[in-house]
Structure 1
Amino acid sequence: MRYYLSLALGLTAFNTAFAQTDYDVAKIPESLKKDAVVVIRNEESFFDVKGLGAAKMDYKVAMTILNKAGDQYGEMAEVYDKFSSIYNIKATLYDATGKKIKDYKSSDIKDQSLISDFSIFEDNRLKLLKFVSLNYPYTIEYSYSQDYNGLLSFPSWHDLKGFGVSVEKSAYTIQKAKNYKMRYLTSRNLQTDSVLNGEKIQYKWKSTNVAALADEPLSTGIDNIAAWVKASPNQFEYDGSAGNFDNWKNFGSWLYTLNLGGNKLPETTRLMVQNLIKDAKTPKEKIKILYNHLQQNTRYVSVQLGIGGFRPILAEKVAQVNYGDCKALSNYMKALLNEAGIASNLIVIGNDMPSLNPDYSSMGQANHMILCVPLEKDTTFLECTSQYKPMGFIGYSNSDRNVLMVTENGGKIVHTPVYNAKENYQIRKTKIILAEDGTADSEIRSTYANAQFEENFPMTLMEPVELRKRIIEDSPIPVAALSSYKYLQADKTVPVLTEEINFKTNPILTKGGDKLFLVVNQINRRESVPLKVENRKTYFAVPFSYNDDDEINYILPKGYNVEFIPKDITITSEFGSYSAKFSVKDNMIVYNRTQTMNNKKYPPEKYGEYVDFYKKIYQADKQKAVLAKTL
């Protein structure tokens, strides 16, 4: 959330006088304090489009920080680059009564490089001011102007900035010449006021007295209840490049043009490719060989320099330095495949973002690039930034979404692969040898695939000491002594990981008289129920569909038999299904548990049913068997 206010707004602005100056917290309606850590007292943004490649914004905001949890909003953090400049910054701090405490000076504002954690080449810079107050509540106010020389996108606007933020007043204005072409989308029922001002048109949106939302578990976002505006130019100019965003076809044409001539490889690399694939008999074999070469010989480094944020580094350059960002590595892989006689297409995608809107093309809906290799009988998508993902596995944060395929004929919306619940599986078999003192020897064998492979794969990269610590901490059964553990991806070409863990447990049996009690599900047990949310507002979903199959075989302590075992349980709902089966074979309890979940997005009114579904699973996972001493 550190830069959320500035980045989520896209650096919006206004050029009118700020009307509100009385920031007495006592005058905030109680309805706006409920569930809030921050109240936006007034926010005004004015974005003035000067031409195809120029614009100016003026922005001013005042917000009251109600308590320490709101301190993350108590700063100005505004981003600019060599195509924009920020100036005329003013900032003031007020106490709870609205009395001015401090006007900040230019020397208080840091001007620093904004180097992302994953980037070594980036020309973004940051104007940063952290407001500090030892007393709560307090109010901050700041304003600035920003000029743009190059215009790929317009600022977006949300009245609600997240959970725990309420709004007294927020307004957004876009001004443009009458003959300037642009498009915009708004949230449902948001009124758009259009005003003719001489030779210019102003589009205005506003929001008042919006209560804060308490944090809602599993939320897919607040766009279904917040007021918002997304706007985009049709034609644009940026860093010596011009294009048209009026549809995805033209957007793709611009990206294709940017990369013309970028697929050439050095002669030594071309010879290397031919040598690598000389014995390959099928296109799939060639792709596998070249993708393996890419993973073993390149590394990911972000590059965000002007148009370089959109144009891939030349394949020839990547071949020399062996690194690049997602665009560069995808383009390099494309060049390798081209040398092998295999056509491919760059894919613009929103990693961990919603699908591209097929009816509204704009910058800002995507943040990543991968590669698509259409073959005669199937299509392979390649995630070129990962040194570990198997060929064709792009990860669940890239799956099941509309993306833009860049072709010589322009952009085309296509859909990435869907990993369904049965494919995102966990299969686990556990053997637990029980002792009369309640302890046990446990052997766990697990197999994870696709999304669950992706979740667990980081374990293979951990240092042994840290890995051992993590296994003990994460074990659902209390570990007395960890004997051995192993993680193995036997076939590097498929997203499947196996896990083997052996350990001595602390007591898992409880004693009552001459009987022993065993919670039968010791491994994959639901330990809590999702919190109930009255009058929920936002849609919800689990992160991904999955299927868990667990089998536990309990070897009974010597001299004991099973006196009671629970009945089989089946639970079904639109969210998923659950079953638990209990049986006794000789001196062994066999427990089978299966849970399947769907990651469909559900409306808020369904959340109570979802909680009830999990309450049943929680209760089913607590079922106990009773062991009695044999006579």
Structure 2
Amino acid sequence: MKVFTCFHTKVLALSILLLPFAVLAQKAPMKFGEVDAKQLAMKSYEKDPNAAAVILGDYGNTYFVYSDEGGFRYIFERHTRIKILRKEAYDKANVEIATYTSTGNSNKEKLTEIRGYTHNLEGGKAQKVKMEKSQVFETKYNKNYLITKFSLSNVKEGSVIEYSYTITSDFLFNLRSWTFQSDIPTVHSEYRVSVPEYFGYVQISQGYKPYDVNEKSSSAGSIASTSRDRDNPGSGFQRNETNYANNINIWVQKNVPAFKNEKFITTEEDYLVKMDFQLQSTNFPNSGYKSVLGTWEKLITDLEKEESFGGFINRRGPTKELVAVTIAGKTTPKDKMYGIYEYVRKKFRYDNRDGIYARKKIRELLDKPAGSSADINLLLINMLKEADLEVFPVISSTRRHGKVNESYPLVDRFNYVTAMVKLGEELHLLDATDPMRPVDMLAYDALNGNGLVMMPGGKYTWVSMMQAPRTANVTVGNYTILPEGEVKGTTTIQYKGYEALRLRKKLIKNPETVKIDLAQEDTTSLIKKKNEDDSELEKEIKKYTYKNITDFEKALEAATQVQTSEYSQVNGDFIYITPMLMHQTKENPFKQEERTFPVDFAHTRETGYYINYIIPEGYKIEELPKSARFAWGDGTVKYDFLVKAEENRIQLVSKFIIGKAVFEPEEYKDLRNLFGQVVSKHTEQIVLKKK
């Protein structure tokens, strides 16, 4: 959830009345409680016939008011109307609204004017059921957030539901964001924002669909105020009038498609069409321009002063003896780095909580060696500094938390911290939250965009968090084809990178160390490619014998004996074999013809198959798969499918290299086509004919 900062502002220390904004005088886009007969009769949504529901209209309006008691605050009004087409969408009638309360309850947002209706056609006539106050209840989410929930009643297929509410907020650092897209299609989404000229907000727009309306305007207004008459103190107060301007924005998105949570993305919040706001500056009469947003240098300086960040890193006493013991006998900086990293990753257990601030004191962490990612990695940085290594904290955002916008220094956009060690010209990123990960291998969830490298004196630079070593699966198969069509032989597989990590976790069966199931991201996996459930995956794993299971610095190796007739067919004098056997890629992971957002693999990858066949005596090669090479002009993506025959032997190579982690939408079509080529080549057959 977004963190809001309380920001009270009084102008000229006098009583102010803000006259109504022009934006408020505009005609309401929808009239609450009145639904068009066509909307009630709708059976499906023409632009998405499979949609279970459609947002007919979603309207938001933010404007400012002022009072002597509270200063400036903003009012946020929302009116949402949804057509329920199928029962799968009944949950759209369950609404949750979050409101913020400052620590200590000194200030909180107020949610008022909650209204709701369910509209139905009953016997050809429109009927509506009003939501009662008893259907609204509150729950405490945490010390800063209250969740108000309500459910609209009498919802059925064909219903139109609508609700509206108002939020009054003193927390002006963030205006209410607006999301124009959801998991169901939207006919019309509109957000209006009117801001007094005294406030300068940065508008952070994201998404891959342009706005149908993006209008800017201004309207004149005046502030009626009273102040003490300085020229004639005995006369008491005088009435003043100050002119001001309202800066008005209107954004409209029409016919927005439902967001489909496709493969190879970070979090959907990175891709939805939405608008965020951050207060950048204020410029009040008699007080002048003031920057509020700050700078990266200030953000770093503030973190250095923070006890649970800079104070934790720079505290020397508690780890002095521990570091001396850990690096005893190690003479080079690299050996010291490896020694400290090895100690921390094996000693301290990650509790699956993330953040950039330590939750524990150092001595508490040493006594009970378990903590958050910040606890563990800040301790790692502390110990590396104690060993006189050149180390810098790197703050970043996880894939589930969303990408960091490098244009705006906002500390709440970060939720992960790692260590960067400089050894001469070498840079190493260290993340000690998993005992199975070697140096330079971050948590999978940390492979996201760029991280902020914090240097002394407020200096900084950015580093890619997606420098993970290439994940590779290399399979070697040596098989003999028997006259009855059976294939017999051995398979050996070498796993590197995140695929090795994923499989090691299955083999060691230590759920406490599991942070994320990588199988859902690795569709090129040799083991989990047929949507097996966990029990089937376990059976597949048990077929292999393994080497280097606990030697995490080495590749994981697997070997098995193969004897199968599943991939071959005998028909008269002919034997037909699909030579990729169980290694065949059967489906293209990219189903959609078009994609409006990037493909994010998180890391580079390589999948190679080197397969050798001996054909049975008395047979000759009638037909072979055709060799082919595919490569992008920049060399980042390559696919080789090579087949060669010599006497009674057939050699087949299928090698697919994805040399970068992120592909832009304009590259999607070529990427999808290349995966299609892999699927196609893997279906081609060897045909043998009896002599």
The alpha-carbon deviation at position 490 of structure 1 amounts to: 5.7
- 2:269–2:402 CA contact under 8 A, matched in 1: no
Counterpart position of 1:541: 599
Say whether residues 1:498 and 2:557 are aligned partners. Answer: yes
Say whether residues 1:206 and 2:251 are aligned partners. Answer: yes
Distance 1:483 1:302 in 2: 29
Distance 1:15 1:334 in 2: 53
Give the TM-score of the pair, scaled to structure 1.
Answer: 0.79
Say whether residues 1:296 and 2:343 are aligned partners. Answer: no
- 1:9–1:158 CA contact under 8 A, matched in 2: no
Counterpart position of 1:229: 275
Counterpart position of 2:370: 323
Counterpart position of 1:550: 609
What amino acid sits opposite 1:538 in the alignment?
Answer: T
**Quick one: structure 1 residues 312 and 102, their matched pair in 2 at CA, closer, same or farther if it must change by over 3 Å?**
same
Q: Which runs of structure 2 are paired with 1:81-120 in the superposition (5 Å)?
A: 82-83=101-102, 84-88=108-112, 90-97=114-121, 99-106=127-134, 108-113=136-141
**Quick one: structure 1 residues 250 and 99, their matched pair in 2 at CA, closer, same or farther if it must change by over 3 Å?**
farther
- 1:248–1:413 CA contact under 8 A, matched in 2: no
Counterpart position of 1:77: 96
Distance 1:75 1:46 in 2: 24
Distance 1:481 1:253 in 2: 52
Counterpart position of 1:626: 687
Pick which of 543-552 and 607-616 moved more: 607-616
2:76 to 58, 62, 65: 58
Distance 1:430 1:35 in 2: 45
**Quick one: structure 1 residues 507 and 523, their matched pair in 2 at CA, closer, same or farther if it must change by over 3 Å?**
closer
**Quick one: structure 1 residues 530 and 196, their matched pair in 2 at CA, closer, same or farther if it must change by over 3 Å?**
farther
**Quick one: structure 1 residues 607 and 260, their matched pair in 2 at CA, closer, same or farther if it must change by over 3 Å?**
closer
SS at the partner of 1:341? coil
What amino acid sits opposite 1:360 in the alignment?
Answer: Y
2:60 to 36, 44, 58: 44
Q: Which runs of structure 2 are paired with 1:247-396 in the superposition (5 Å)?
A: 247-258=295-306, 259-263=309-313, 267=317, 269-301=319-351, 313-352=360-399, 356-363=404-411, 365-395=413-443
- 1:447–1:497 CA contact under 8 A, matched in 2: yes
- 1:315–1:331 CA contact under 8 A, matched in 2: no
**Quick one: structure 1 residues 482 and 79, their matched pair in 2 at CA, closer, same or farther if it must change by over 3 Å?**
closer
- 1:157–1:172 CA contact under 8 A, matched in 2: no
What amino acid sits opposite 1:20 in the alignment?
Answer: K
Distance 2:271 2:312 in 1: 44
The alpha-carbon deviation at position 472 of structure 1 amounts to: 8.2
Distance 1:481 1:156 in 2: 47
What amino acid sits opposite 1:526 in the alignment?
Answer: T
- 1:167–1:211 CA contact under 8 A, matched in 2: yes
- 1:483–1:502 CA contact under 8 A, matched in 2: no
Identity value in percent: 14
- 1:445–1:500 CA contact under 8 A, matched in 2: yes
- 2:356–2:417 CA contact under 8 A, matched in 1: no
Counterpart position of 1:186: 205
Pick which of 135-144 and 341-350 moved more: 135-144
Distance 2:334 2:201 in 1: 44
**Quick one: structure 1 residues 100 and 488, their matched pair in 2 at CA, closer, same or farther if it must change by over 3 Å?**
farther
The superposition leaves residues 165-199 of structure 1 with CA deviations (integer Å, 9 ceiling, x where unpaired) of 213232142635x4444422335663344445545
SS at the partner of 1:186? strand
The alpha-carbon deviation at position 511 of structure 1 amounts to: 1.1
- 2:600–2:663 CA contact under 8 A, matched in 1: no
User: Structure 2, unaligned stretches of length 5 or more?
Assistant: 6-22, 103-107, 223-243, 283-290, 512-516, 518-524
Counterpart position of 1:3: none
Say whether residues 1:569 and 2:593 are aligned partners. Answer: no
1:245 to 290, 293, 297: 293
Larger Rg: 2
- 1:245–1:251 CA contact under 8 A, matched in 2: no
Counterpart position of 1:23: 35
The alpha-carbon deviation at position 275 of structure 1 amounts to: 1.1
1:165 to 185, 195, 200: 185
The superposition leaves residues 250-278 of structure 1 with CA deviations (integer Å, 9 ceiling, x where unpaired) of 22222222234333658564322211111
What amino acid sits opposite 2:597 in the alignment?
Answer: Y
Counterpart position of 1:590: 651
The superposition leaves residues 315-356 of structure 1 with CA deviations (integer Å, 9 ceiling, x where unpaired) of 344334323323232222222222222242222212227654
What amino acid sits opposite 1:95 in the alignment?
Answer: H
The superposition leaves residues 574-621 of structure 1 with CA deviations (integer Å, 9 ceiling, x where unpaired) of 573222222335644321111123546556565444444333333222
**Quick one: structure 1 residues 592 and 309, their matched pair in 2 at CA, closer, same or farther if it must change by over 3 Å?**
closer
Counterpart position of 2:451: 403
- 1:347–1:403 CA contact under 8 A, matched in 2: yes
Distance 1:322 1:50 in 2: 51
What is the RMSD of the two structures over their aligned residues, measured on CA atoms?
4.5
**Quick one: structure 1 residues 234 and 344, their matched pair in 2 at CA, closer, same or farther if it must change by over 3 Å?**
farther
The alpha-carbon deviation at position 311 of structure 1 amounts to: 6.3
SS at the partner of 1:409? helix
Say whether residues 1:459 and 2:506 are aligned partners. Answer: yes
Distance 2:433 2:146 in 1: 25
- 1:33–1:166 CA contact under 8 A, matched in 2: no
Distance 1:193 1:461 in 2: 63
**Quick one: structure 1 residues 226 and 380, their matched pair in 2 at CA, closer, same or farther if it must change by over 3 Å?**
closer
